[in-house]
Amino acid sequence: MDLDFSADDHAFRDEARTWLRENVPRERRPEGGKAMRDFDFEWQRRQFSGGWAGISWPAEYGGRNLSLMQQLIWYEEFAGAEAPPIGINFVGLSHAGPTLIARGSEEQKARHLPAILRGETIWCQGFSEPGAGSDLAGLRTKAVIDGDELVVTGSKIWTSYAQHASVQELLVRTDSQAAKHRGITWVIGDMNAPGVQIRPIKNLVGIEDFCEVFYDDVRLPLSNVVGEIDNGWSVAMSTLSFERGTAFMADIVELSRTVTELVALAREVPRWDGHGRAYDDDHIRVELAQLRAEVDALRSLNYATVSRVRREGRPGPEASIVRLYYGLLSQRTYDLALDIAGPQCSSAAPESPAARWVRGYFNAFRATIAAGTKDIQRSIIGERMLGLPKDR
């Protein structure tokens, strides 16, 4: 056990801090539409040309081949500099890219990885279906082999940024006779192919960031299959291990900043009865202290993930612990924020400080649903870590 950072790590941190100070966009990130897409692309391109994209990715695909620790240092500095989120580049950078690095063919890696880093392609995830959410392996979107193509029919849902994306992590059923975890194939989908239809869905926050996607005889080359036909479940598990394990490191660092801002808010706004500040209230002050303690623990759990990945090559089932802890903690943070911000939450103008907390409150529900609900995470912890029997 040690907290030693190498001289390289320190130099990297200094370099990152300096670059971010000079390059973080100061304009506000647009909430949706083409303006948001352009903003996210531009920010990604700026990071790429500065040499800050794909920090832990292999150099031959445009990455820097540095450690996951340095990737984490980058996220820490990124949050510290109040940089805008990676936004629409999230799927490509955080789990499609890592999945291709782990499981893709040379041709697939060469074609897709540099484009992700350069901010040229947006990826989306086609895993969940109307009838297959928590029971992901129950998916029914089917693909049949026709010559050197797969022909896909069915639908996917909760696909974030599908309306902006050009490529997709797509899970399809290629053998309907096999047991449900067999017979699934992981294929790179083409969002611009004929037969793809997209219906954006307004989420709880009021923005269209996820969609339903329909496939009507959509033809994809067999060379787009990642891993082998019918062996997609193990590739999907690889994707999910990144999605649950390392993909939201930036969010963890960000939550720590949010709690700090909430402390500042409590020191500023009046207490519920109008006397003194909210921070003078024992309940608020102690609850905030508890959140601050847990945010520290979350950071330590994040470091534990990095330690495990370094030893074992990828995140293990413990990643579900971090995901669950993060999700519940972010919800409690925004729950308390509404208590602190008080009556102004009921009619917060869009640009007002209170709007940020109301919006965050609604948005935090996402944290125990996406990437596996909290119930699924608990079952994974129970079964894969504690050895309890499966319930299904």
Partner 1 sequence: MDLLLSADEEAIVASVSGLLTGSALADPDASWPDQAWKELAAMGVFGLAVPEEHGGLGFGVAGEVLLFREFGRKLARGPMLGTTLATQVALEAGAVELAESLISGSATCGYAEPLAGSSPPPGDSASGTFRVWEGRGAALLVLVTPQWSGLIQADRLSAEGLSVASLPQTDTSAEMTQVTLTDVPVLAQVPSAGIATRAALLVAGMQTGIAEAALAESAAYAVTREQFGKPIGTFQAVKHRCADMAVRAEAARFQTVYAALAWDDPALQEQAAGQVAAAAAVAADAGRRNSADNIQNHGAMGFTLEASPHRYLRRTLVLASLLGTPRAALEQIAARA
Q: Which of 214, 272, 325, 365 binds partner 1 (CB under 8 A)?
A: 325
Please identify, using beta-carbon distances, which residue of 129 and 318 lies nearer to partner 1: 318
Interstrand relation of 210-221 and 167-173 (parallel, antiparallel or unpaired): unpaired
Considering the complex, what minimum distance in angstroms separates the CB of residue 320 from partner 1? 8
Instruction: Report the nearest approach of partner 1 to the CB of residue 252 (Å).
Output: 13
Contacts of residue 194, defined as CB under 8 A and 6 or more positions apart, other chains included, come to 218, 219
**SS3 string of 348-389?**
CCCCCHHHHHHHHHHHHHHHHCCCCCHHHHHHHHHHHHCCCC
Exposure string (b/e) for 260-299, b if CB count within 10 Å is 16 or more?
Answer: eebbebbeebebeeeeebbbebeebbebbeebeebbeebb
249, 321, 337, 367: residue in contact with partner 1 (rule CB under 8 A) = 321
Among the listed residues 5, 214, 272, 365, the single contact to partner 1 using CB under 8 A: 5
Q: Which member of 76, 169, 243, 294 is catalytic? A: 243
CA 135 from chain centre, in angstroms, equals 20
Q: In the bound complex, what is the minimum distance in angstroms from residue 52's beta carbon to partner 1?
A: 20
Pairing state between β 167-173 and 123-126: parallel
Helix (H) or strand (E) segment spanning residue 278: none
Smallest gap, in angstroms, from Cβ of residue 270 to partner 1?
18
First to last CA, the chain: 39
Other CB atoms within a 10 A radius of the CB of residue 72 amount to 24
Does 178 contact partner 1 by CB under 8 A?
A: no
Rank residues 214 and 272 by Cβ distance to partner 1 and give the closer one. Answer: 272
Is 243 noted as a catalytic residue in this protein?
Answer: yes
| CA distance linking residue 288 with residue 50, whole number of Å | 38
Distance CA 112, CA 120 (A): 10
Shortest Å, Cβ 380 to partner 1 = 8
User: Could you say whether residue 146 binds partner 1 (CB under 8 A)?
Assistant: no
Instruction: Quote the least distance from Cβ 62 to partner 1, whole Å.
Output: 26
The reply on whether position 134 binds partner 1 by CB under 8 A is: no
Q: Quick one: DSSP state of residue 227?
A: S
Nearer to partner 1, 214 or 325 (CB): 325
Taking the least distance from each CB to partner 1, the nearer of 68 and 207 is 68
**Part of the chain binding partner 1 (CB under 8 A), chosen from 131-139, 195-203, 244-252, 384-392:** 384-392
Among 30, 85, 342, 382, binds partner 1 (CB under 8 A): 382
The answer to whether 133 contacts partner 1 (rule: CB under 8 A) is: no
**Residues near partner 1 (CB under 8 A), total:** 46
User: 81: which 2 tokens?
Assistant: 């500099």
Q: Which stretch binds partner 1 (CB under 8 A): 55-63, 120-128, 344-352, 372-380?
A: 372-380
Q: Is the dihedral of CA 33, 35, 38, 39 positive or negative?
A: negative
Q: Which of the residues 326 through 355 are near partner 1 (CB under 8 A)? A: none
Is 388 a residue that touches partner 1 (CB under 8 A)? yes
Is the Cβ of residue 68 or residue 193 nearer to partner 1 in the bound state?
68
Closest separation between CB of residue 340 and partner 1, Å?
14
Residue 152 in tokens: 């896909």
DSSP secondary structure code for residue 129 in this structure: B
Return the number of the residue (4 or 351) whose C-beta is nearest partner 1. Answer: 4
Which residues in 46-85 contact partner 1 (CB under 8 A)? Answer: 69
- The candidate with the shortest Cα–Cα distance to 298, out of 263, 264, 260, 327, is 327
Q: Which two tokens stand for residue 197?
A: 């239809």
CB of 71 to partner 1, least distance (A): 13
The site string for partner 1 over 272-311 (x = CB under 8 A, - otherwise) reads -------------xx-xxx-xxx-xxxxxx-xx-xxx-xx
Neighbours of 14 (CB within 10 A): 11
Nearest to 246 by CA among 321, 319, 169: 319
11 is a site residue for partner 1 (CB under 8 A): no
Residues lying near partner 1 in the complex (CB under 8 A) are found at 1-5, 9, 69, 285-286, 288-290, 292-294, 296-301, 303-304, 306-308, 310-311, 318, 321, 324-325, 375, 377-379, 381-383, 385-391
Residues serving a catalytic function are 243
